Amino acid sequence: MKTTKKGFTLIELIVVIAIIGVLAAILVPTMLGYVRKSKISSANSAASSVYKGINSALTELDEEGVDVGGLWILKWNGTVWAASTETTETDPTISTVVGSGKRFDKKVSNFFSDIKKIKKGECAIKDGGCIAFAGCTDKTYTGTYPGGIVTTDTYENYKDANYTNALKDAIAVAAGAKGVEATGTTRLTYAAPTDSNFKALYDGVGSAGQKGAASTTPSTPSAG
């Protein structure tokens, strides 16, 4: 007995395609959101690791007799650190141990072996300790320490490797500032520090080198 194979009708195919389209419209944005959140988290985690590596390196350098005091902005270009100002090794300071093959670079790499995942970045050092770091893992995602600055709502404010603005905000947060949402936007603004030490670092972002000696005169941190 001859049988006839029955396929899908045109209407059935249209219904199936429509269902697939609806599911895609629901799932694709959700999946993209998860990917974005994961990359932001990864960038912030990497920034935290660099921050910890820098502080560990500074502790060891201090124990080795290097003067790690003062206010410094150090730049990372994806390969080496730079401190701009050079002094003599007879009176070693941060600037003499920063650079290709030098102690600071080696120590930070030892403490965080994946440092080269950060394409560009900067850190702020205040009297022997790193107070803030910002770095980008690519042109879209930047991470900071202190955290809470770059989020799924604010990451676009720091894209295109805008790590300098991210570092300014991180320094402000380290000084005690709280983010205030700008009217009609998702951007958080942070008041510039009023403390003289934090302000010197805040104003010096974007230019590697020493920004002065840390002042011992207390002043009121920014309230945000």
pLDDT given at position 35:
83
Express each pLDDT in 18-51 by its tens digit.
Answer: 888 777 777 766 666 688 889 999 999 999 999 9
CA–CA distances in Å: residue 122 to residues 112, 148, 185, 191, 219? 16, 18, 27, 20, 25
More confident position, 9 or 222: 9
Can you tell me the mean pLDDT for 191-217? 85
**Which of 114, 173, 111, 128 is CA-nearest to residue 147?**
173
Confidence band, pLDDT 50/70/90 cuts, at residue 16: confident
- Contact status, residue 42 vs residue 140, Cβ threshold 8 Å: no
Name the amino acid, one letter, at 145: Y
pLDDT given at position 5:
60
Q: Where are the beta strands (DSSP E) in the chain?
A: 71-76, 81-82, 120-126, 129-136, 142-145, 180-181, 188-189, 209-212
**Which of 102, 113, 128 is CA-nearest to residue 46?**
113
Q: How far apart are CA 160 and CA 80, in angstroms?
A: 21
pLDDT given at position 218:
43
For residue 133, with 0-12 CB atoms within 10 Å meaning exposed, 13-18 middle and 19 or more buried, which class applies?
Answer: buried
Can you tell me the mean pLDDT for 180-194? 78
pLDDT given at position 25:
75
- Contact status, residue 158 vs residue 191, Cβ threshold 8 Å: no
Can you tell me the mean pLDDT for 141-150? 95
More confident position, 138 or 182: 138
Confidence band, pLDDT 50/70/90 cuts, at residue 148: very high
46-55, 73-82, 86-95, 199-208: which range is least confident on average?
86-95
Express each pLDDT in 80-138 by its tens digit.
Answer: 999 875 544 456 789 899 999 999 999 999 999 999 999 999 999 999 999 999 999 99
